[in-house]
A and B are shown apart, each in its own frame.
Chain A
Amino acid sequence: MRRRWDWTTQSQRSEAVRQAMRRLGLTRRRARTRPRDPDELRLLVLRSVAHIQRARAEGRWQKLDARRWRIEFR
């Protein structure tokens, strides 16, 4: 059986990390230490582009005109 993601626990963990980071003053952006492989980078870009195209094709992200969008979440 597929295990369901526990968003509540995950959210609490994420918040604990965020609070610890704020306490430590770690508010600046961190660079990755290892550069991505160019093929990995290309694949990640294509995956994200496909995600955007899917949201638009399904009408969840609708462009009404040049500067107006409508987002449907359900």
Chain B
Amino acid sequence: MSFEERLRQARSPLEKKLLVVSELTRRLKPKGITPIVVGGSAVEIYSAGDYLSADIDLVVASRQQAVAELQQMGFRAEGRVFYHPKWDITLEIPDETLAGDAERITEIQVDNGVVYCIGLEDLILDRLNAFVYWRSEEDGRWARVLLQAYATEIDSDYLKVRAEQESTRAALETMLQEIADATPMGLDNSEPAE
């Protein structure tokens, strides 16, 4: 099955986005370049598609080579963003350096390809920064979601040290306390009826 055919079969925006990033990753691999999903798209991945991001945010070490490859794939530059008219995908490369620990990057296997994503702890710190410094309530909500959903898997020592460095430790501790104190609301975890 061709990439175009596979993309047409995608049933969710996240599936389509991951297939596109996986294709870009495959094309950049011979050049030794690894695109890393960050920002809202990373929240979309860790939230299993519950968060919906308008575009794909990537950190790529060599922006120039990534842009050349994107244009080969049919993306058009529109200011800071790249848009693929046929696939209806918007992509942005906000930075060439990852704001986080390269050792914590997560490899996501999709079909026969891979996508690399910012580590969960660094993503939580990113949302926490937006919550504290931009007063973004929505980012605070998603930091809480990720902290609660992955409570037993998160490297909390790393999280606390980094939060201390970024002066967001108090907000982190408040969130962790709220999660610990939360009364279960008895949500039904079954699939909603059609």
Interface, chain A (partner B; CB < 8 A)? 2, 11, 14-15, 18, 22, 27, 29, 31-32, 35-36, 41-57, 60-61, 63-64, 67-71, 73-74
Contact = CB atoms under 8 A, between A and B. Distances in A.
Nearest to B40: A29
Interface of B: 10-12, 15, 18, 45-51, 54, 78-81, 88, 90, 104-110, 119, 130, 134-138, 141-142, 144-145, 148-149, 153, 182, 185, 187, 189-191, 194
A44 B134 contact: no
Which secondary structure characterizes the binding site on chain A? helix
B75 to A, nearest CB: 14
Contacts, number: 100
Nearest to A56: B48
B185 A67 contact: no
Contacts of A48: 47, 50-51, 142, 145, 149
Given A68-B106, A69-B106, A31 B48 contact: no
